[in-house]
Amino acid sequence: MLRGRVQKRMEQRLRQAHLPVGVQLWNGAELVPGSPKVRVALRTPHAMYSLDRPTLGKLARAYVEQEIDLEGDMHDILSMGESLCDAAAAIGGKPNWLWKWWRHTGLADRRNIGYHYDVSNDFYALWLDSRRVYSCAYFKHADDSLETAQEQKLEHICRKLMLKPGETLLDIGCGWGALILWAAEHYQVRATGITLSRNQHEYVEAQIAARGLQHLCSVRLMDYREVPDAEQYDKIASVGMFEHVGLGNLPLYFAKIHSLLKPGGLVMNHGITQTALDREGLGSDISEFVEQYVFPGGELVHLARVVESMAQQHLECLDAENLRPHYARTLWHWAARLQAHQHEARELIGEKKYRIWQIYMMGSAHAFERNWLSLYQILAGKPMPDGSLPYPYTRDHVYVT
């Protein structure tokens, strides 16, 4: 009885939406027949509930749990999902989770980072570029390859930081080491990377040895809070890491950067930001899905909060660049490459985890395209004792050919 009512509501919703979507029930029956662009196969009767009063998070969860299968072009699938759900709610989000202080203890952060990054180095190699840069690329032209765009991003950061031979660079959350390796090889700086991922740590150590960069590069399995204050760096970078810091820890995070940065030094903070003011994450149950399946402990804040937190810790903002379109393009590259290697991916990590990464990257690309999320590179400096900060009057040094 209840199942019949749910099925009727689901079918009515699909017809009213006038979407090119075909639905196949678990018993083989077809709803809304025709020549749809997207096909949804319900594998169990319970799967109907994901299409009855759906949210984007509910649909993603049903796909990951293999209650539904999706067939069609990636862009069409995302457009279908947005049309079926209350898209306006997606940017609403929820008030911040500042009261959940335990989300970002040292132990919790290690566990959360391990969950996301220690899946399999070979898995990430299937869809990242050859340098394994797991952050927004920088496209100078629409047809740039992912390989080219990621190298351009590394160079873009180094130029903004005005790296010079002999300087010291700290990379907080160094990933698979692309930035410290690039900075050492192209700018002859002494670069140190830190990460909480054991897989990444082992990989970067091997890359440093293979390239003969032991005299310039090092990597540590370490939390940013554990870096000794006695160590002083000319430049600091944090790329795709501060999303894991947590709103409540932003003062501590930027205070730590300030303590490690030499007077007159520069810091680049590159990370995802929230579009809506004073809200955390996305609505339509998206944040709940990401918290459960993708980035446990992840928190997003608006650009204004980031700049404010920096200023409170006496870091002067010098430049802020919005790379939102670049991240949408990066994510579509990743999603397409993962789909092209889906058989290998499934063998490496299993069906469920494959689906998590596939729907997460597709959904994230859509979110950046729709301006639900953004990505900012914020360059700041630590003023000298007299208040001065040696920095050029123009940005010509960034764009010189």
Query: Which secondary structure element, helix H or strand E, spans residue 186, and what is its range?
Result: helix 178-187
Residues 66, 120, single domain; the answer is no
Instruction: Point out the domain boundary residue: 56, 85, 114.
Output: 85
Does some domain include residue 291? Answer: yes
Instruction: Point out the domain boundary residue: 85, 112, 142.
Output: 85
Alpha-carbon distance 306 to 261, whole Å?
A: 18
Does some domain include residue 253? Answer: yes
Residues 136, 280, single domain; the answer is yes
Residues 131, 69, single domain; the answer is no
Alpha-carbon distance 181 to 204, whole Å?
A: 9
How high is the pLDDT of residue 96?
47
Residues 231, 127, single domain; the answer is yes
Instruction: Point out the domain boundary residue: 85, 117, 146.
Output: 85
Residues 10, 77, single domain; the answer is yes
How high is the pLDDT of residue 24?
86
Q: Are strands 233-239 and 168-172 parallel, antiparallel or unpaired?
A: parallel
How high is the pLDDT of residue 373?
94
Does some domain include residue 95? Answer: no
pLDDT digit of tens for each residue in the chain (401 aa)? Answer: 446 676 777 777 777 767 788 888 888 888 766 678 899 899 988 888 777 778 889 899 999 999 999 999 999 998 888 888 866 656 655 554 444 444 455 555 566 555 556 678 899 999 999 999 999 999 999 999 999 999 999 999 999 999 999 999 999 999 999 999 999 999 999 999 999 999 999 999 999 999 999 999 999 999 999 999 999 999 999 999 988 888 889 999 999 999 999 999 999 999 999 998 877 668 888 888 888 888 777 788 999 999 999 999 999 999 999 999 999 999 999 999 999 999 999 999 999 999 999 999 999 999 999 999 999 999 999 999 999 999 999 999 999 87
Alpha-carbon distance 15 to 373, whole Å?
A: 31
How high is the pLDDT of residue 87?
62
Q: How many CB atoms lie within 10 A of CB 26?
A: 14
Alpha-carbon distance 375 to 272, whole Å?
A: 4
Residue 201: both structure tokens together: 């740590």
How high is the pLDDT of residue 295?
77
Does some domain include residue 94? Answer: no
How high is the pLDDT of residue 345?
95
How high is the pLDDT of residue 31?
76
Alpha-carbon distance 67 to 235, whole Å?
A: 49
How many domains are contained in the chain?
2
Residues 223, 197, single domain; the answer is yes
Measured on CA atoms in the order 306, 311, 315, 317, is the torsion positive or negative? positive
Does some domain include residue 157? Answer: yes
Alpha-carbon distance 191 to 296, whole Å?
A: 29
Instruction: Give the domain CATH number at 149.
Output: 3.40.50.150
Among residues 324, 212, 313, 318, the alpha carbon closest in space to that of 272 is found at 324
Alpha-carbon distance 82 to 100, whole Å?
A: 30
> What one-character DSSP code corresponds to residue 94?
B
Residues 159, 240, single domain; the answer is yes
Residues 179, 301, single domain; the answer is yes
Sheet strand arrangement including 373-381: 217-221, 190-195, 168-172, 233-239, 261-274, 373-381, 316-322
- By the 8 A CB rule, do 234 and 265 touch? yes
How high is the pLDDT of residue 222?
94
Residues 81, 109, single domain; the answer is no
Residues 328, 374, single domain; the answer is yes
The number of residues making up the chain comes to 401
Does some domain include residue 136? Answer: yes
Residues 135, 249, single domain; the answer is yes
Does some domain include residue 223? Answer: yes
Alpha-carbon distance 46 to 220, whole Å?
A: 47
Cα separations in angstroms, 240 against 22, 74, 137, 173: 38, 24, 11, 8
How high is the pLDDT of residue 252?
95
Residues 305, 379, single domain; the answer is yes
Does some domain include residue 90? Answer: no
Which residues span the domain enclosing 288? 101-399
Alpha-carbon distance 149 to 138, whole Å?
A: 5
Alpha-carbon distance 319 to 391, whole Å?
A: 11
Alpha-carbon distance 76 to 184, whole Å?
A: 43
